[in-house]
Amino acid sequence: MITPVAHLDEFQARRSQTSRRSRSAGHQESLRHGRAMHLLDIENLVGTSGPTTREVEEVMMMYDAVVPIGERDHYMVAVNPAALVAVGVAFPGGRLLTRPGPDGADRALGEAAYHDRIDLRFERVVIGSGDGYFVDLAHWLREAGLHVIVVSRPGSLSRRLSAAATEAICLEPATQHAA
């Protein structure tokens, strides 16, 4: 037989656990609301494994023109070690990742996204790459309820990545109008 005191203690313990879960879910939702993580494979966006600071800045001007960017957004930018300084100059305040070898930048972005549990902290994720490497990441994020946008250069978007994303945007160079 459960004594009233034991029953009350059990009730309060369950209520406390439920309350913590509710607060945790509410806190998690407030962390995500209105925030985006931009995962940028900058070499893929620029179209070269040795991007210059100027090339990165030009691509980011196009990116800024087509991608909604909020004041609470975060950036993770990956590049091979040889281009780290040039890219770093173009991204003050962004989180820079580097890894040598084939798909090194892709692997660095993917591992950081999973490890940092961006699915819990952001409402949207923008994958700046057309590389099919990011298909599984896009699926994982969509299953977690995030809006996944893929941004890529014309003609370099993997069909599988496009299908895995919520939305795909093509970076088009600004055209100059004749006077």
In angstroms, rounded to a whole number, what is the distance separating the alpha carbons of residues 171 and 140?
A: 24
User: Are 35 and 122 in contact, with CB atoms under 8 Å apart?
Assistant: yes
Looking at the fold, whether 84 and 8 belong to one and the same domain comes out as no
Residue 177, pLDDT above cutoff 50? no
Q: Is residue 175 part of a domain?
A: no
Could you report the per-residue pLDDT of 34-75, keeping only the tens digit for each?
A: 799 999 999 999 999 999 999 999 999 999 999 988 888 999
User: What pLDDT band is residue 31 in, cutting at 50, 70 and 90?
Assistant: low
Structure tokens at 47: 């179209």
pLDDT over 50 (residue 161):
yes
The answer on 41 and 3 residing in a single domain is no
Residue 179 lies in a domain: no
135-143 and 104-115 helices cross at what angle (nearest 10)? Answer: 20
Specify the pLDDT at position 174: 57
Helices (H), 67-178: 84-90, 104-115, 118-121, 135-143, 159-164
Q: Examine the domain organization and report whether 67 and 108 are in the same domain.
A: yes
| Residue 177 within any structural domain of the chain | no
Per DSSP, the three-state class of 152 is strand
